[in-house]
A = this chain, B = another copy of it.
Amino acid sequence: MVERLITELVIANRILAREDVVDAYGHVSVRHPESPGHFFLSHALAPAFVQRSDILEFDLEGRPVGDDRRTPYLERFIHSEIYRVRPDVRAIVHCHTASLIPFADSDVPLRAMYHMAAFVAEGVPVFDIRTAAGLTDLLVRDAALGKALAKSLGQKPAALMRGHGAVVVAGSIPSVVGRSIYLDVNAKAQAQAIALGGKITYVGADEAKLRMSDTNEYSRAWDLWKRKVAR
């Protein structure tokens, strides 16, 4: 089970890089299936490079388990503090996807454009680190900042981070990867719809709720993305 998840996590790193959700920065983690107070995450490395041997186990203080000396991601507290308060969350992506930055800095909220991104209808709050913590270098460098981000996120599937990027959460690796990819598609489509200048009808919260009851979310896409990075 753990072995399978770590394999999936490595694949997720490659997919997120190939689909331009992350560039050299950003990271993806998965909760330990048997020790819910632990999670797996690469040491500090560009996602495109991540291999099995790069995955470390962390506790909810953001400390690596064991005596591995490789540098962890500075912002691992994004993961630890969300896992702490969201028992439903089993996988997390932190990214700086180009299409999300405009919404992260704007007061125009992300809205759900279509069924593939129905989860957006639950709401995507914006975390402004200055409101939470005053003057910073914009990075989630410690547990206190991680807690503030987790509080902004609340029970939502994703949060934007002003001047920074986004965090996306879900119940599995394929689901968090799918949400990250379709959040990107949705943001571009919404920006384009706004530019058309007409009246926009977004996906309703009631429609989205029905759509999200599909537990097989993104599985067909996962198979395709996986094949692309296997080549």
Which chain A residues have a beta carbon within 8 Å of chain B's beta carbons?
Answer: 23-25, 44-46, 48-49, 96, 98-99, 101-108, 112-116, 118, 128, 130, 135-139, 162-165, 185, 188-204, 206-207, 210-211, 213-214, 220-221, 223-225, 227
| A102 x B196 contact (CB < 8 A) | yes
User: Complex: how many Å from CA A224 to CA B107?
Assistant: 33
Alpha-carbon separation in the docked complex, A105 to B199 (Å): 8
Alpha-carbon distance A24/B221, docked complex (angstroms): 5
A113 pairs with B130, CB closer than 8 A: no
**Do A199 and B25 touch (CB < 8 A)?**
no
List the B side residues contacting A139 at CB < 8 Å: 115, 211
Residues in B whose Cβ lies below 8 Å from that of A101: 113-114, 189, 192-193
With A24-B223, A25-B116 known as contacts, the answer to whether A105 contacts B197 (CB < 8 A) is no
Most buried by B among A25, A106, A130: A106
Contact A224/B191 with A113-B102, A135-B207, A196-B103 known, Cβ cut-off 8 Å: no
| A96 with B114, Cβ < 8 A, contacts A24-B221, A25-B220, A210-B135 known | yes
**Cβ–Cβ contact B48 & A199, under 8 A:** no
Contact B196 A106 (CB under 8 A): yes
